[in-house]
Chain A
Amino acid sequence: MRIIVPLQSLVHGHGGLVLGSILPCALFYLLQHQFKRQRPPPASSPPSSIPRTASRALLSRSPPAAVSSRATSISSTDHESPHYEGFSKCFDDPFDRVTNPNGIVQLGLAENRLTMDLLTEWIAGSVKASLMDPEVGGLVSYQPFDGLVELKTALAGFMDQVMRGSISFSPSQMIITAGATSAIETLSFCLADPGHAFLIPTPYYPGYDRNIKWRAGVEIIPVPCRSTDSFRLSIASLELAYNQAKKRGVKVRAVLLSNPSNPVGNLMDRETMYELLDFITERNIHLISDEVFAGSNHGANEFLSVVDVAHTEGFDKTRVHVIYGLSKDLSLPGFRVGVIYSFNKIVLEATKKLARFSSVSVPTQRLLVSMLSDVKFIQKYIEINKKRLQRMYDLFVEGLKQLGVNCVPSSGGFYCWADMSKLMRSYSEKGELELWDKLLNVAKINVTPGSSCHCIEPGWFRFCFTTITEDDVPIVMERIERVLENNKR
């Protein structure tokens, strides 16, 4: 009776709200808890069913050892964007005017080969002296992971030369990493926790997707820029994106942009920088300025670093961080040298400790100390490099113009941002990728499609002109023309 009566009242709804809600809720939670405890992790395999015996022969077919879910997602090849696919194809069949005239011309990698002769000359003349320290210990022994003091000093001087700003860079605010790729990742770890986000104006450098999301677990929120604005950053769009993120409950920790921008090549002007600094100060977030192409501006406009503006206008510099490196301005991507420059004590402290994971080989550091201290050479190098960049840019853009392809006027970087939307079959990402594919497999030139850079307007392509010589330009134009002709038919 005592059991039946309450049960009956339950069923009939007596005891009402209380019993009727608590009991099922309790049961439900118990069920959830059970599931949670027993939920197998995503990448695990069923435990081995083979009993353990002394005879090893029986122990043969155990299930494969599962890797982490991060490894599974990073290794899977469905995430290959055309940007990377083109690279591997190019690698296998590289163009050479003499030995492989039918190979794929690499216009997708922002690497500068225009001034290799200057580098060769210097290294041949000075390598021995710069590396053979009086004590070989200075070459082979453990040194601070965040870089030799001598190299930081030399790099600070180099950055002063390149950026020619009103503020001098201080070696003590610098952390040296194995490439700017690592600098961006390390800074992402230090400015955001997993699940937080960075606002990045699009189109942006495809590598950010890997550097920021893969291990640091930071989300990227693209802030679209439009061709009508020449793809310049609009603070209103930033504002919009920030508010949308907030509504979604995503915490934005920083704005990341490149200046000169990649892939468009814009230089940021003082006014926009003010507004940007206002914006981030008001929202209490950080600004990461990727200035790797600072010394590779070839137009009439002068490069202006965000550090400069923050300093002269009295903004709080602890929220401003600069990424730099030697892969672009000194054409030494193989050396793997990147820089994090910050005014924020905690960020400096943390990145210093993380430097152990991406430190630069000491012989390379010694060589660079020598090279960067050769101020005359560096000055000459920067000047000649700019001239050659300007020349190639003019040639290339003119060549494209004659094919009816217009580029956004740009003053920095190794590339031009070309509008091929009229030449696509359909005005969509699909149409763009079709054209990209034709260019790669028929015209045999590798370029980066705008979709890889998250451009919202289809049909834009990034052409890098620094891996070819002047003589190669007509060949490239002719190949593009062939494809455009075929497309028109």
Chain B
Amino acid sequence: MTPPPRRKADAEEDSKTSSPPRRPSSGTGMRVIVPLQGLVQGRGGLVLGSVIPCALFYLLQFYLKRHRPSPSDEPAGPIPRTQSRSLLSPRGSSPPASASSRASAIAKASDSPYYAGNDKCSTDAYHAVSNPRGVIQLGLAENQLTLDLVRDWIESNLKESLLGDLQGELSIRGLATYHPFHGLMELKIAVAGFMHQVMQGSVSFNPSQIILASGATPVIENLSFCLGDPGNAFLIPSPYYPGFDRDIKLRTGIELIPVPCRSTDGFSLSIAALERAYTQAKKRGVKVRAVLVSNPSNPVGNLLSRETLYDLLDFVTEKNIHLISDEIYAGSNHGNGQFISVAEVVEAEDFDRSRVHIIYGLSKDLSLPGFRVGVLYSYNETVLAAARKMARFSSISVPTQRLLVSMLSDSKFIAEYLEKNRERLRKMYALFVDGLKQLGIECANSSGGFYCWADMSKYIRSYSEKGELELWDKLLNVAKINVTPGSACHCIEPGWFRCCFATLSERDIPVVMERIRSITESCKVNH
């Protein structure tokens, strides 16, 4: 362990004596060599020895980062640019213009059975008279049971509702010109009133907390943009509505973490399972931003009890996350249970409201999916401000808004409609579930929505997703009925199917049951 200064002196000595031929003017040369030698031999020690390599390393990283090729890069065209355009025959010779990598991912994403079945249905739709061998659509949650009332109303009220009394330019301005993208105030007021009626007077909604958009689909996406950043996640009890996969994941970059519910619990939400999923996500380093529930649930049809709502609110408050309640079927509960909105609970108790958001719309309760009307109801000022600005991307056509202001303000019509609708849903549900029961297919208890959640696990060849999809395929291509398999809804127990009954008329039911029977019979034989 010789003290450094002496070694330095030695080195100096050495270089002086050993390398004069290389360094004629050794003055400058010395100044360079000595520190260098010091480095190599560990002189200047820790400081130099760490600073310089670190600096080099960072420079290298920086250089690599700048020149990192992006994923969708295409090689530059090899054609030299000349004046003569004829030589520049671009057809076929320049590389094809590539879309963004996110576009390619979206375009190529394979369709889940949920969409595949719907497509098949639209090309070969069943009709009792004109196409009796067509595919019967039980996969789209649409309600055609009370269209007659809607038709009558529109027929008698259309002109007035759209054009008023056509005095001069006023009404055309109210129809054709620019209006706030987040919805006419008159419509927000009318929608608030409608929601109040639908939820049977249990909650009063404030129109200024409403943002309107062209369907619940953009509402969910907008809200997702507002609550989470790319890489964040939402917890969502499964089975869940297959559309959420597209609505939430496609562009926002938010992950969906399913929280499995079990048939033994009637597929109702368990806070313990939520807790578990949250903790697992945390371990993985994924930041959970919200819990998304649908109430009445889709595809099962459960209503959330008051107690569960309390527990849920406790949970999100404790974890400091948001709660999104998709209540789009609020007015379509046909069972004995009573629908309770999260708004009711939040306003009754001293919960922090800024974390509660409700999704609503007119596609289900008013059977107007073609009108494209969705509602975001939030208590959070920042979310409202951001959503208001993003409304420009999914704004509702003003003539439709005018028409709806008129329709929703007709409380007598609305009351009659809601009542008749519930009655018909109840009746159809009973008939359908009974029909399935006679085939030995039990359905989960449900009180809301347009569907029943049927257990066909007895009839699948192997108790697995593969077996389930085989049965789904048989039902679609042999029996020609389109239902939604549980795997498309991320159900962890195979064999469950969602069957929507609200596009059928009573006389279609025997036809459907017969077709299902033909499959179940053949499956029985095989067992």
Residues of A within 8 A of B314 (CB): 52, 56, 59
Which residues from 199 to 229 on chain B have a C-beta closer than 8 Å to any C-beta of chain A?
Answer: 214-215, 217-218, 221, 225-229
Contact B52 A21 (CB under 8 A): yes
Assess the B49–A336 pair: CB atoms within 8 A: no
Interface residues of B in 59-105 (CB under 8 A from A): 65-67, 70-74, 76-77, 79, 81, 85, 88-91, 94-104
Complex interface: chain B residues within 8 A of A395 (CB) = none
Segment at the A interface, from B143-151, B262-270, B294-302: B143-151
CB proximity of B431 to chain A, nearest CB, Å: 22
Asked whether any CB of chain A lies closer than 8 Å to the CB of B46, the reply is: yes
Q: Which residues in chain B, 370-403, are within 8 Å of chain A measured between CB atoms?
A: 370-373, 380, 382-383, 385-386, 389-390, 392-400, 403
Is B498 close to A, CB under 8 A? no
B-side contacts of A75, CB under 8 Å? 382-383, 385-386, 389
CB distance from A153 to the nearest CB of B (A): 18
CB of B57 closer than 8 Å to a CB of A:
yes
CB distance A336 to B99 under 8 Å?
no
Whether A354 contacts B352 by the Cβ 8 Å rule is: no
Quick check: is B188 within 8 A (CB to CB) of the other chain? Answer: no
Please give the distance in Å from B199's CB to the nearest CB on chain A: 23
Name which residue of chain A comes closest to B355, CB basis: A65
Are B177 and A361 neighbours in the complex by a CB distance under 8 Å? no
Report whether B50 and A185 are in contact in the complex, using a CB–CB cutoff of 8 Å: no
Q: Which chain B positions have C-beta within 8 A of A24?
A: 46, 50, 54
Residue from B1, B232, B397 within 8 A of A178 (CB atoms): B397
Chain A residues near B467: list those with CB within 8 A. Answer: none
Are the C-beta atoms of A350 and B394 separated by less than 8 Å?
Answer: no
Decide if A68 touches B289 in the complex (CB within 8 Å): yes
**How many angstroms between the C-alpha atoms of A127 and B171 in the bound complex?**
14
- Report which residue of A211, A274, A331, A349 has the largest number of chain B beta carbons within 10 angstroms of its beta carbon: A349
Check B100–A193 contact: CB distance below 8 A. Answer: yes
Q: Which of B103, B169, B394 contacts A190 (CB 8 A)?
A: B103
Whether, in the assembled complex, A182 has its beta carbon less than 8 Å from a beta carbon of chain B, the answer is yes
**Binding-face segment, B315-323, B433-441, B442-450:** B315-323
Instruction: Tell me, rounded to whole Å, the shortest Cβ–Cβ distance linking B296 to chain A.
Output: 20
Residue A62, interface by CB 8 Å: yes
Question: Of the 9-residue stretches B34-42, B471-479, B486-494, which lies at the interface with chain A?
Answer: B34-42
With contacts A56-B350, A74-B389 known, is A140 near B173, CB below 8 A? no
Contact B1 A12 (CB under 8 A): yes
Within 8 A of B (CB), among A132-158: 132, 136-137, 139-143
Complex contacts, B4 vs chain A, CB 8 Å = 12-13
- A267 → B minimal CB distance (Å): 23
A293: min CB distance to chain B, Å:
16
B: residues with CB less than 8 A from A are 1, 4, 38-46, 48-50, 52-54, 57, 65-67, 70-74, 76-77, 79, 81, 85, 88-91, 94-104, 106-109, 140, 142, 144, 147, 150-151, 154-155, 158-159, 162-163, 166, 169, 171-173, 175-179, 214-215, 217-218, 221, 225-229, 232, 246-247, 250-251, 285, 287, 289, 310, 314, 316-318, 320-322, 349-350, 352, 354-355, 363, 367-373, 380, 382-383, 385-386, 389-390, 392-400, 403
Q: List 18 A-B contacts (CB under 8 A).
A: A20-B46, A25-B53, A37-B285, A59-B317, A62-B352, A68-B229, A69-B229, A72-B386, A75-B383, A119-B172, A127-B158, A127-B159, A136-B154, A141-B370, A193-B102, A211-B392, A347-B107, A360-B397
* Inter-chain pairs besides A211-B392, A215-B251, A316-B94, 15 sampled, C-beta below 8 Å: A24-B54, A71-B386, A178-B395, A182-B394, A284-B76, A284-B95, A286-B97, A334-B177, A334-B397, A347-B103, A350-B102, A353-B109, A358-B214, A361-B397, A363-B371
